[in-house]
Amino acid sequence: MLLQIVGAAVVDSLELPTRLLVARRSSPPQLAGLWEFPGGKVEAGESCEEALHRELDEELGVALRLGGEIEGPGEQGWPLNGRAAMRVWFAEVTDGRPTALQDHDDLRWVDLAEGGAVEDLPWIPADRPILTALRSLLPGPGAESPDQKREA
Ligand SMILES: Nc1nc2c([nH]c(=O)n2[C@H]2C[C@H](O)[C@@H](COP(=O)(O)OP(=O)(O)OP(=O)(O)O)O2)c(=O)[nH]1
């Protein structure tokens, strides 16, 4: 059993995502300055989803609506190191304005478009495959809007 971490891929809109909210860690020293998905450890007695809501409230002061999961290769999600794995969900802010209250010293909304700024940031290396999976789940350039789909 690996230590369970949860993270949020907060986007501007779950239906039509164009920007991702990324957070820069302020600690511990070996991770400080690296970008990540806000989130943290699941506590005893908590579900992963409950932990994600709690962490985002504590760290960024926001309430979330969760979208689909960015599924990783394992039952516990994406391997982070030998001891931990992270499950990640798309999410949208429903209340509050993201503020670096704890664990982070910078927050940014970055463009998700191909060739955009997301990959240029110094991410925690374990997060790179998650970013690739996230991108593959985005609607393509010719994707139909939900309205068009309904009319078809
Ligand atoms: N939140 C988060 N943690 C990540 C990511 N990628 C990654 O390798 N990690 C690692 C860093 C940490 O070792 C661990 C998460 O621990 P954390 O320090 O954020 O958890 P927490 O908020 O519950 O912290 P604490 O109670 O120990 O202070 O997972 C990511 O994208 N987001």
For the whole model, what pTM was predicted? 0.92
Q: Measured on CA atoms in the order 70, 73, 74, 78, is the torsion positive or negative? A: negative
Stretch 13-31: mean pLDDT:
97
* Cα-Cα-Cα-Cα dihedral sign, residues 74, 79, 85, 86: negative
Query: How many domains is the chain partitioned into structurally?
Result: 1
What spacing in Å lies between the alpha carbon of 7 and ligand 1's midpoint? 8
User: Which residue has its alpha carbon closest to ligand 1 atom 21?
Assistant: 40
- The ipTM of this complex is 0.95
Q: Does 80 contact ligand 1 (Cβ within 6 A)?
A: yes
Domain that holds residue 138: 3-151
CATH number at residue 122: 3.90.79.10
In which band, very low, low, confident or very high, does the pLDDT at 126 lie, cut at 50, 70 and 90?
A: very high
Ligand 1 and 128: CB distance under 6 A: no
Contact (Cβ atoms closer than 8 angstroms) between residue 11 and residue 90: yes
Q: What is the pLDDT of residues 54-100, one digit of tens each?
A: 999 999 999 999 999 999 999 999 999 889 999 999 999 999 999 99
